[in-house]
């Protein structure tokens, strides 16, 4: 086969010969295989997740070995054939597509092409691999969404298909009703790597941009000289704070600078000083080296204690207290005096990193009288709002159109703006498309993390273990910028009481600015921190009373019709008791090395804020098309909405299409946050679909061509501090009980996760959410550690302590549905956040049962996972 020349031929140099998917290429520039595949051959199935050899999204086969292409140089290939997803045989493609779809292996999808290649590698070596062999084969591939369980099952199924032991069943008319294991609408594109993420977008004439950032967390920005950079051929321009119409943006509080202004101070290591725009990424990086920055390093404020000090420098003009919340009911002080037993303990949790597989990226381009942005985010309307603030277009936000391509994970970490403001500004000023993508190191330094907490928790009960009162003080480090400090702090406070029935609470929460990386939304939204403390205290109380940790929770568990500590009456769907009953036997059999914890989590924003779901159904080309700006970040919201339409109308799967979230075509359906879309947007979709169903009684879809059905759903809630006797803080709550069982070495052997999420729309999807949440929670408790020293991030993606496939325990998702459910979205209540919340406390409880040591910090010390590892006596 004739060789294809890539790049310019250099006569006096020996070329590199590269064989990819059966084609031979000749090139003269040595580079990583990843960059050759993506930039030169435009093979987009090979994803760039870190460029550090740590995540596995760029996995390909080199010969029969799965290799991370970001660390393989062309010069090292030595004629070995390279295989990407595109080069798999049709039989292999069909096998993996069917197997991964049916197994539920796909969520955000960014890791999946790499997982497929690692799966193909092990199957080529052994057509019937064991589960342990598969786990080892994908050890180099991180998945942050699924918990690996369904990926392993998918590889097993693919192997069985390729051996001829499992047939691919053809599905001509797939049903689309609720409670079915309906195929994900995006599975095939994500499995084969044909789905488009922001970094896969290529537009003719596209420019590239990157920020020059501060070297110090806190410094006086004295001057910048980019004159030499402007002389470099291919550089289009350098943007600074002087070029920004309104330099302050922010999700809720506008305290975040697009670029730091000369003469002011930097606040964290991620702060941008300028934005370099050029014809290629290589020219951008060369130009950045030519820019001279004069910074006067200042001592950073690196802890809550330092931020609270009287002589602390003010990080923002109004001081270092960013937000505070105070929640009380009854008289906790007096009630505690009457308690038979009282426990007070301090707890501490660290920064943790979302570690989504897709780094932040967007492409902005001129559009009509404004701009269009293809953005990896959690709400196209939130992005539009913040960009309109930057441009000063609040009166005409429609000048900005935002569209989501596929989003490679978020977990709350893509609620804030990142790459969008500089790219949008450059696209508008230079009237050309601009791509802005963060490196993994930039992402680690820049985007908001899980809030570190320092808290004191007091809980009291009577002689029978019935809770009587609670007092709490929570201190959060919100880092350099507010992000969502207020709402996250509020949720930590309101949920610190737990899902129990008592009425005397006094909770004080404070969020402080420091020069650390910002903290904001992260799966669990503040509740992971306070739940860990509350549930750990419950174990101490149980010991004092002389009853089991299961029994004390069962005696206090909230029931329908009872009053939660916030005053809200528990609705008919409340099934915490049932989740406890589901795990009782397994806990009692293993209680000397098992831990248990309960949790509740709101569905919907609530607390008096306007939280609306909107949906527009339009009949086009004989298809029911849903326009709804609910960002999919891996949770499967599109498939859930399809099933709700199917349930309401009886339409089959292939007669319903979920359109891409786009602020020009889709109504604002709110942020992907707070486990809200299934409940709130789902109800809007149901109501719109029910209107369509009425017309379908007498008309075909074809006869309804062009007709639209719109619905806005809004059920008001009561604000925090409402003077109502029984305020409605949230539309619904999900409940869960987790049990963690350790083995003889002190490692997590099994997890039982019983969840009340109301009506289960799709069992496969909800299981995947639980499995992924469990693994994320285990990492939070035991191994994850974003090291921040003097406000400087000292971590790489590969050193974060993320769990990999060989480490995962057996996970048993248990789905609890009551007969009587809420009449909203068919009774569904959401699962995304609560899946992560109780697991850390359950781990702590298991170790406490094993050795009697209360581990009150994360990552926990003296465990089978810590360094040094603790040795446990065999049971």
By CB atoms closer than 10 A (0-12, 13-18, 19+), residue 439 is middle
CB 245 within 8 A of CB 239: no
Structure tokens at 679: 């409940």
pLDDT recorded at residue 867: 87
pLDDT recorded at residue 396: 97
pLDDT recorded at residue 300: 98
Q: How far is CA 647 from CA 179, 239, 652, in A?
A: 10, 51, 9
**What is the rounded distance in angstroms from the CA atom of residue 797 to the CA atom of residue 809?**
23
b/e sequence 628-644, b meaning 16+ C-beta within 10 Å: bbbbbbbbbbbbbbbbb
3-state SS of 322-375? EEEEEEEECCHHHHHHCCCEEEEEEEEECCECCCCCCCCEEEEEEECCEEEEEE
Q: Which of 379-388, 477-486, 553-562, 865-874 has the lowest mean pLDDT?
A: 865-874
**What is the rounded distance in angstroms from the CA atom of residue 225 to the CA atom of residue 241?**
14
CA proximity to 436, closest of 509, 369, 361: 361
By CB atoms closer than 10 A (0-12, 13-18, 19+), residue 674 is buried
What does the mean pLDDT of the chain come to? 97
pLDDT band of 771, cuts 50, 70, 90: very high
pLDDT band of 874, cuts 50, 70, 90: low
**What is the rounded distance in angstroms from the CA atom of residue 849 to the CA atom of residue 349?**
21
Spatial neighbors of 126 by CB under 8 A, at least 6 apart, are: 133
**What is the rounded distance in angstroms from the CA atom of residue 400 to the CA atom of residue 387?**
8
Does residue 500 have a pLDDT over 90?
yes
**What is the rounded distance in angstroms from the CA atom of residue 300 to the CA atom of residue 214?**
13
Does residue 461 have a pLDDT over 90?
yes
> Among the residues of 614-720, which ranges form H helices?
637-649, 682-696
Local structure of 248: helix, strand or coil: strand
pLDDT recorded at residue 11: 86
CA proximity to 474, closest of 431, 526, 418: 526
**What is the rounded distance in angstroms from the CA atom of residue 830 to the CA atom of residue 775?**
18
**What is the rounded distance in angstroms from the CA atom of residue 661 to the CA atom of residue 677?**
13
- pLDDT tens digits, one per residue of 134-190: 999 999 999 999 999 999 999 999 999 999 999 999 887 889 999 999 999 999 999
Does residue 289 have a pLDDT over 60?
yes
Stretch 527-542: mean pLDDT: 98
Q: Phi and psi at residue 565, in whole multiples of 5°?
A: -60, -20
Question: Partners of 97 in the beta sheet?
Answer: none
Q: Phi and psi at residue 530, in whole multiples of 5°?
A: -75, -30
- pLDDT tens digits, one per residue of 470-490: 999 999 999 999 999 999 999
Stretch 402-420: mean pLDDT: 97
CA proximity to 601, closest of 567, 576, 638, 629: 576
CA proximity to 320, closest of 330, 309, 329: 309
Total Cβ atoms within 10 A of residue 72: 20
pLDDT band of 294, cuts 50, 70, 90: very high
In 226-357, DSSP assigns E strands to: 235-239, 248-249, 256-257, 272-278, 292-297, 321-329, 341-349
**What is the rounded distance in angstroms from the CA atom of residue 233 to the CA atom of residue 808?**
51
CA proximity to 476, closest of 506, 516, 417, 416: 516
Spatial neighbors of 497 by CB under 8 A, at least 6 apart, are: 470, 505, 507, 534, 564, 565, 566
* Dihedral sign of CA atoms 81, 83, 87, 92 in order: positive
pLDDT band of 200, cuts 50, 70, 90: very high
């Amino acid at each position: 086969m004739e060789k294809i020349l890539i790049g310019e031929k250099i006569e006096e140099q020996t070329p590199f010969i590269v064989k990819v998917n059966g084609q031979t290429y000749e090139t003269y520039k040595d580079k990583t295989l990843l960059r050759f595949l993506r930039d030169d051959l435009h093979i987009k199935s090979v994803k760039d997740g870190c460029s550090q050899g740590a995540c596995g999204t760029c996995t390909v086969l080199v010969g029969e070995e799965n290799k991370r292409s970001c660390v393989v140089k062309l010069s090292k290939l030595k004629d070995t054939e390279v295989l990407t997803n595109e080069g798999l045989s049709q039989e292999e493609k069909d096998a993996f597509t069917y197997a991964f779809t049916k197994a539920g292996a796909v969520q955000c999808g960014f890791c999946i092409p790499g997982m497929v290649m690692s799966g193909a590698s092990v199957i080529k070596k052994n057509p019937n691999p064991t589960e342990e062999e598969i786990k080892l084969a994908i050890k180099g591939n991180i998945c942050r969404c699924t918990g690996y369980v369904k990926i392993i099952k998918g590889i097993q199924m693919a192997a069985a298909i390729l051996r001829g032991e499992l047939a691919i069943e053809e599905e001509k008319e797939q049903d689309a009703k609720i409670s079915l294991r309906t195929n994900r609408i995006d599975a095939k594109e994500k499995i084969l790597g044909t789905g488009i993420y922001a970094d896969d977008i290529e537009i003719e004439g596209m420019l590239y941009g990157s920020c020059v950032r501060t070297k110090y967390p806190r410094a006086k920005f004295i001057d910048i000289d980019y004159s030499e950079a402007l002389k470099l051929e291919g550089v289009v321009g350098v943007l600074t704070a002087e070029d920004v119409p309104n330099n302050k943006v922010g999700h809720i509080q506008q305290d975040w600078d697009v670029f730091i202004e000369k003469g002011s101070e930097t606040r964290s290591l991620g702060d941008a000083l300028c934005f370099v725009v050029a014809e290629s990424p290589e020219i951008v990086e060369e130009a950045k080296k030519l820019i001279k920055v004069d910074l006067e390093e200042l001592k950073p404020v690196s802890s809550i204690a330092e931020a609270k000090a009287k002589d602390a420098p003010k990080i923002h003009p109004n001081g270092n207290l960013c937000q505070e919340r105070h929640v009380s009911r009854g008289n906790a002080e007096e009630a505690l005096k009457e308690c038979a037993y009282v426990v007070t303990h301090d707890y501490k949790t660290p920064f943790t990193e979302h570690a989504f597989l897709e780094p932040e990226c967007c492409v902005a381009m001129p559009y009509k009288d404004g701009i269009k942005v293809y953005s990896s985010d959690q709400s196209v309307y939130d992005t539009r709002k913040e960009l309109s603030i930057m441009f000063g277009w609040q009166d005409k936000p429609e000048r900005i159109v935002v569209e989501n391509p596929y989003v490679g994970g978020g977990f709350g970490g893509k609620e804030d703006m990142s790459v969008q403001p500089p790219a949008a500004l450059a696209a508008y000023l230079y009237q050309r498309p601009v791509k802005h993508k963060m490196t993994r190191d930039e992402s680690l330094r820049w985007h908001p993390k899980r809030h570190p907490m320092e808290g004191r928790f007091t809980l009291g009960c009577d002689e029978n273990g019935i809770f009587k009162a609670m007092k709490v003080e929570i201190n959060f480090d919100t880092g350099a910028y507010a992000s969502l400090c207020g709402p996250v702090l509020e949720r930590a406070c309101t949920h610190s009481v737990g899902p129990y029935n008592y009425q005397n609470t006094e909770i004080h929460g404070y969020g402080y600015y420091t020069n650390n990386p910002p903290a904001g939304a992260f799966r669990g939204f503040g509740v992971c921190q306070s739940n860990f403390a509350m549930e750990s205290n419950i174990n101490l109380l149980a010991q004092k009373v002389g009853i089991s940790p299961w029994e004390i929770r069962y005696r206090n568990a909230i029931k329908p019709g009872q009053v939660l500590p916030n005053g809200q009456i528990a609705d008919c769907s409340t099934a915490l008791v049932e989740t406890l009953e589901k795990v009782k036997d397994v806990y009692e059999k293993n209680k000397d090395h098992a831990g248990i914890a309960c949790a509740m989590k709101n569905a919907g924003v609530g607390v008096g804020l306007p939280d609306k779901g909107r949906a527009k159904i339009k009949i086009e080309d004989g298809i029911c098309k849903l326009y709804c700006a609910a960002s999919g970040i891996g949770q499967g919201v599109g498939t859930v909405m399809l099933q709700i339409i199917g349930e309401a109308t009886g339409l089959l799967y292939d007669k319903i299409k979920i359109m891409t979230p786009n602020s020009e075509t889709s109504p604002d359906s709110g942020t992907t946050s707070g486990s809200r879309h299934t409940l709130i947007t789902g109800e809007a979709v149901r109501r719109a679909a029910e209107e369509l169903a009425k017309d379908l009684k007498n008309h075909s879809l074809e006869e309804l061509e062009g007709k639209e059905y719109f619905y806005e759903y809004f059920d008001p809630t009561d604000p925090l501090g409402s003077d109502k006797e029984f305020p409605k803080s949230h539309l619904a709550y999900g409940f869960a009980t987790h049990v963690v069982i350790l083995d003889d070495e002190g490692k997590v052997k099994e997890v039982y996760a019983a969840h009340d999420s109301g009506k289960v729309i799709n069992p496969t999807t909800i299981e995947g959410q639980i499995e992924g949440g469990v693994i994320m929670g285990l990492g939070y408790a035991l191994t994850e550690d974003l090291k921040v020293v003097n406000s400087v991030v000292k971590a790489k993606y590969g050193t974060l302590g993320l769990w990999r496939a060989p480490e995962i325990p057996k996970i048993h998702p248990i789905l609890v549905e009551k007969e009587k459910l809420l009449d909203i979205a068919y009774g569904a209540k959401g699962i995304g956040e609560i899946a992560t919340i109780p697991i850390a406390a359950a781990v702590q409880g298991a170790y406490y049962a094993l050795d009697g040591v209360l581990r009150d910090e994360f990552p926990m010390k003296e465990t089978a996972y810590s360094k040094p590892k603790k040795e446990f006596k065999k049971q």
